[in-house]
Structure 1
Amino acid sequence: MRTLWRFWFCGLTAFILSACASLSPETSAPRNTLILISIDGWRADYHTRGLTPNLSYLADNGATGQMRPSFPSLTFPNHYTLVTGKRPDHHGIVGNTMRDPQRPGVTFKLSDREQVTDGFWWKDAEPFWVTANRQGVKVATMFWPGSEAEIHGARPYKFATFEDHLPPTTVVDRGLAWFDAPEAERPQALTLYFSDVDHAGHDFGPDSSEVGVSLKAVDEGIGHLMAGLKARGLWGKVNIVIVGDHGMTKHRPDTFIKVAELLPPNSATVYGGQAAGFIPNPGKESMVQAALLKPHDHMQCWRKRDIPARFHYGMHRRVPPIVCLANPGSYIVAPSRDGWMPKPQGGSHGYDPYSPEMFTRLIVFGPDIRPGVTLKTFDNVDVYPLIMRLMQLKPQPSDGHLRDLAPALR
């Protein structure tokens, strides 16, 4: 009898241990809602200016750290990196302006809605809302680059057409309204996007009072979100992930570079800016290379195959044959701009992502986050695996990993 009892007990124990071991993250704990928030142009040190008490509360009671953008440190490439975990050279959004040999004569620009909403440009990667949709999880996007396009045959569960300069509280109200649907119809993740900090930095520079005003407005929006979640009984059931896409540095007008003074007319197609692309016209290749690949005072140029390895850039078909990178504060002005110059009192981004002025920030807060954690500086490709872990979803292959963000997780 004792032997039989021992056999029964050991068998039951083994069965229980086996069952527990087989539980997936989805079944071992409830899935908390995720809210992913982008503050465009949110430089890492803006957090220390004493203007954002709500953001400070979330950082102090959650986890925070400086985040290095991907190259080029521009808006569209980095927003797509944050939701795919892939660097621009892998996900294909290699700039805010770009061409693709598969679409001769067509130029992708932020201002061209026909191209921005065309899934062709976004199909080299899969954003988390497409993956979530396939796994039965609803994601709503209140503005996010790429979210208005059909990608791999799918769109977000809910999405909004981008409107610039909306007050952050309005953006929050529109996003929260989706949570007021019947429970079965509510999204399990939401993205929000605030643009005005970036605009103020471009127009007036990162140290301006106007940036301070925009930071206060964003922080008011964050407070409005917190109050809205509490009013809906969702506080304590939501993980909030707040990110920037890049930093900002002040212009140095005496260092601006005029391409028209380096190249004769009609010698190349030029996408100017901080990281500028050059496509030599037929028969002009040697002349353009000779003019650009020599030393310059305020920029450095490379053939795409020679771009420094630390930038993880230069393999994708959309990367131009020659890429020039301005020094922080300088600007490469394309001749097509017809006399236009950047605002001398303003600022820019797009520079070397290892420049501290380009660093941005992560704040993550919620029931699945350990409080009081300060993270070491990390690459923004790591945000995607964090999002997928918090949403209990199986991620797509990416360039990111959880090693540097694991201390933030309970």
Structure 2
Amino acid sequence: MLHSKRILIGISGGIASYKVCEVVSTLAKAGADVRVILTEGATQFISPLTFATLSRHPAYTDRSFWQPDHHRPLHIELGEWAEVFLIAPLTANTLAKLTYGLADNLLTNTVLASACPVLLAPAMNTEMWQQSTVQRNWQQIKTDSRYHILSPGAGILACDRVGTGRMAEPPEILAYLQSLLYTNGKRDLQGKRILISTGGTREHFDPVRFIGNPSTGKMGIALAQAAIHRGATVTLVHAPVQAELLAVLPSVQLIPTITADEMHQAMLSYSPEADWIIMAAAVADVRPAKVHPEKLPKRSLPDSLPLAPVPDIVADLSQRKQPHQRLIGFAAQTGDILPPAQEKLQRKRLDAIVANPIDQPNSGFGSDQNQAIFLNAQGHQVRIPPCSKLHLAHQLFEFVQAESIHRGA
């Protein structure tokens, strides 16, 4: 999703500019073609040489803007060249200029001379962020479909203040850039409410031992990211997942669960309001018939473990599905993945299913990549070769949308 992509990065004056070093370095190592513009204020925090080194290209400043050594005006050349434009950190000053279409430096002139999607990642002191004028500008620019936003988070700031104003972290920025490169900024899920489950449930038989599986929740998190980037409102019901993985979803409603029973209750509770329901979690099929309230000594562990069934979440969701809703399941399989996925699709009356192999390299549980076969109730199949889970998530949304259009939904 990044190789040979043309990414323009604008940096305005703020201490958070140090975070952009990781963004530029990661993009360049992935094969993207990166160009960097620094405002005069940005050069007081970080050297253009730093970004020139990380991007493998000269970094531009206002001094570059006024030097007559380009065949065409630099802001025109860069604006036409870019496929996506990131501005991070976005200061209150640059935000005001963008809101009113002002252009008094290379960065703001290039914004006006470009037509690609622009991703904005603000960073500033909490008091500055909360000023009514700043908030008015922020709300105004959000109405412009060209601009995509990563709202600042809360935490301790460089001024030692604890509050809102922290710039989004590099992993969140990188994922959004990849989405914009894939979708070209379209918000085709605007107004959709999407409910997603993810992670592997745990069925304890004492406080420290449980029946589980290797699911990390990465696929469901990628689905949530892709949906948010396409304009949807997302609720994510998750089994135990590492906190740093969930940190990239600040605008997603997170519902934590542990057991299949808890996930069952949460999914049924939130499903009536959803337009699409995607069951990406790896849910246990059985649980210990008896749960011990205290840790069993090793000598007391049973030779056999009686098991009991857990609720079939997908089957119950299918029975309650409303006509306008779409229900998508996952089938993690080994060997020939197609027949069991087809059987599950029909038996549970799903609108679509994702069959993905867990016995192939760089696929399935724990991997950052995946591969799959998409199937829908009309018999349409699409084979997805190995790709990032975010890329696969975008392709799944397009597959489901095409089926919905065909059905007139």
TM-score by length of 1: 0.29
TM-score by length of 2: 0.29
Say which structure, 1 or 2, has more relative contact order (CA 8 Å, 6+ apart). 1
The structure where strand makes up a greater share of residues is 2
